[in-house]
Every structure is written in structure tokens, then in C-alpha cells.
Structure 1
């Protein structure tokens, strides 16, 4: 029988896909770019929030309702290879990588749903 501690330790050993993703509106090519330490689960979370009408990005939420889920695509822009021996802060690395993508792709205004920080 597996103990609670063994299950927790096993979970800590698991490697999740870490990187940068975009949600792209196939009708107008606007994108929402972000990063995650779990590229599989993050898409499920965004879909759930959007389908429930509770997404924090009001422009993306509005167009999701207008165009429908079938007109949006989830795309991984870059995946970060994780080393087993390193103690790298992958959340920080992914965030920095997403900022580079945002600088290059400029997903603001007519091009996307991201909001400039400044």
C-alpha cells in the first residue's frame, strides 16, 4: 500500500511541460501569450474559465463568447527542457521567455489580448 508521503514524493519527482504558449483567435489572428510550469493543465484552466465566462482577460473573454471555442487554438511556442540535477526556477525562466515572445510578437491592441505593463 502506498503511503501519503510516498505519493507526495512521487508527485514532486514528476516533470511537467514548462514553457510559453499562446491562445490564438483563428478568425482575426489575435493572440494571448503567457507562460506556465504545466503547459497541459494551463490550457484546461483557460478553457474552463473562458467557457464559464470568468476569464480575467475581458477582451479575450468577449471574443471567446463572440467567436466560440472552435475558433481558438492553443499553441505551445517554446518548451523549456528541464535538467534533473539543477535547481532552476523554471517559473522565472518561463516568464522571462514569455516576455521575449511578447516583445517580438507585440500581442497588444489589434494584435492581441495582452495588456502592456509599465
Structure 2
């Protein structure tokens, strides 16, 4: 493959949509779950499992359960996807419109599943005006 072909392949990759949506990382032993949103679900799955495998996940409770029960006790599921409204992206800023949609979808799933406390690894967000 010559340099020009490689450059074109990279450009094509950058212009295609990655799978976007809401995911759930669930502990099959105790039923606890982590709900999140991602502009690239494949990369998120890889990042989450890598961080957990390296014992460096930011969520300490999730990390403790991963260490206790092992990788096979967890499943990574896609709860909902965003369908792109166009085939290609001509500029990276075009992805911004999906950020708001993802946050709204994530909030819907957080309210539906309530993955807090004994049910999950998510943390309740403090109200902005709370002291």
C-alpha cells in the first residue's frame, strides 16, 4: 500500500461514524451496573476493560468487585444506539450535535435503572445549587 492509499484510508475512517449510544457494564454476581454514554462504544468497551484489568479504574467500587469476581463476572451491553443522520462526517464538529442527544438518553436510562448504591456503580450528581 502506498502512502497516498494509506492517507485515503485514514481519511475515510475519520469520516465514518463509530457506534454511539448508551452502555451498561453489569456484574452478573451481584447485579450492580454502571451506565454510561459514548461517542464510540467499541473504544469505551476496550478502555473500560483495560482500566479494570490494569487495576486503575476511576470507580473504586467497580474496581473492587472486578478484582473480587473477575472479568468473566461482567457483561458489557449496549442499551441504546444513536443512528447517524448522515453517511459521512466532513468536519469533527459535526459530532457535537450527538453529544446532547447522548446525554439526554443517558439521563433517561439512569432514571429508569437507578444504578446507584446497592443497585449500581454510578454516583448521584449533586444539584448545582446545593451547598
Q: Give me the TM-score of the superposition, normalised by structure 2.
A: 0.82
Aligned twin of 1:11: 13
- 1:32 alignment partner, one of 31, 34, 41: 34
More off after superposition, 4-13 vs 50-59: 4-13
- 1:104 alignment partner, one of 97, 112, 116: 112
3-state DSSP class of the match of 1:27?
A: coil
Aligned twin of 2:129: none
Aligned twin of 2:98: 90
3-state DSSP class of the match of 2:25?
A: strand
Distance 2:100 2:48 in 1: 20
Runs of at least 4 residues of structure 1 off by over 4 A?
Answer: 85-88
Aligned twin of 1:51: 53
Distance 1:26 1:56 in 2: 20
3-state DSSP class of the match of 2:14?
A: helix
The verdict on how the C-alpha distance between 1:2 and 1:15 changes in structure 2, with shifts beyond 3 A counting, is farther
Note the residue ranges of structure 1 that are not aligned, 5 or more in a row: none
RMSD of equivalent CA atoms: 1.8
TM-aligned CA deviation for residue 5 of structure 1: 5.7
Note the residue ranges of structure 2 that are not aligned, 5 or more in a row: 127-131
Larger Rg: 2
Distance 2:78 2:34 in 1: 12
Q: Give me the TM-score of the superposition, normalised by structure 1.
A: 0.90
TM-aligned CA deviation for residue 92 of structure 1: 2.3
